[in-house]
Amino acid sequence: MDYQAVIDGIAEEVRPLFARGRVAAYIPALAAVPRDRFAMAVLTADGALATTGCAGEPFSIQSISKIFTLTLALRHVGEKLWKRVGREPSGSAFNSLVQLEYEHGIPRNPFINSGAHVVTDSLMQERPYARDTLLAFVRELSGNDAVAFDETVARSEAETGDRNRSLAYFLKAEGNLTGDVDAVLDVYFHQCALAMSCVDLVRAIAFLARGGRGVDGARVVSAGQAKRINALMQTCGTYDAAGEMAFRLGIPAKSGVGGGIVAVVPGKLSIAVWSPALDKTGNSLAGVRALELFTGRTGLTVF
């Protein structure tokens, strides 16, 4: 399969979508990102890399980062994590307070904001310097020591993070957040502010396409844990549009409001795409279409 030709063709086809949708203006630092940016990268299981657009340009990965904190939590906390967070699609907004109250402080899954707060809190109980642990982890996975937190984005997250504070304090009131709220949110805001390129991302998530092993062959998680992370991406990874994304893409994916989406075809390859303008569910408009075209043209799907 000539993946380079496939993604070059896709980049041209999705170009008209750049003018549609909206950037995540509720985070001021993201509002300034040019909406005409587009990048796509594919990394095969045998190490072949294909890129198009500005695939080496870092951007704010936002909720894609929840893959990495979940992976670290599974490594350090293990199955105990599932006593505090569920594994079901939410069917509600990623920052819903109503659902969290109705379900007595147990988030539906690790990829909604409240679930990510619990995952972060769990990790911090085992690794108090969780920010440093996370940064070292993504640098190791991506093979890029220049990966860093975008402090401007982190400050913007904190300045506009009242809904996240509400979720965290409610979790605290229900006994499902054990650490200091401000400390947990500081780690959370920084993880969302990780700046990575599509090339960084396809390398960093390659372990999910390789049975738990990274690009260097080292074991990141067990094959069973990789399977479970992929399953959660498939059912919960694209906000409250997971059913629609499963229907259109047919592969596990995780999106972020920075306009990035990562996806994997287990045993085959990892994919990353970036286009800042979002649809009404918070997923990249051109990014979703690019992945839909990719799976359609290559025939790669988990179904």
Instruction: Please answer whether residues 302 and 234 qualify as being in contact, where contact means their C-beta atoms are separated by less than 8 angstroms.
Output: yes
- Across 31-40, 80-89, 91-100, least confident range: 91-100
User: What does the DSSP 8-state code read for residue 16?
Assistant: G
Helix (H) or strand (E) holding 269: strand 269-274
Prediction pTM value: 0.96
The answer on pLDDT for 94 being more than 80 is no
**Arch. (CATH architecture) of 3-298:** 3-Layer(aba) Sandwich (3.40)
Task: Tell whether the model's pLDDT for residue 21 goes beyond 80.
Answer: yes
pLDDT at 213: 97
Residue 24: pLDDT above 90?
Answer: no
- Provide φ and ψ at 213, rounded to 5°: -105, 140
* Mean pLDDT along residues 87-116: 88
Residue 68, pLDDT above cutoff 90? yes
- pLDDT tens-digit map of 215-266: 999 999 999 999 999 999 999 999 889 999 999 999 999 999 999 999 999 9
In whole numbers, what is the pLDDT of the chain averaged over residues?
95
Checking if the pLDDT of 293 tops 80, the result is yes
Helix and strand counts by DSSP (H, E) for the chain: 13, 8
User: Across residues 172-190, what is the average pLDDT?
Assistant: 97
> Residue 269 corresponds to which amino acid?
L
Sign of the Cα torsion 210, 238, 58, 274 reads positive
Active site residues: 63, 66, 188, 239, 257
**CA 276, 278, 282, 287 torsion-angle sign:** negative
pLDDT at 32: 87
Q: Is the pLDDT of residue 97 over 90?
A: no
- Tokens at residue 130, please? 């969780």
CA–CA gap between residue 118 and residue 121 (Å, rounded): 5
Cα distance between residue 172 and residue 183, in whole Å: 13
Cβ distance 48 to 140 under 8 Å?
no
Q: Kindly state the percentage of the chain with pLDDT values over 70.
A: 100
Length of the chain in residues, anyone?
A: 303
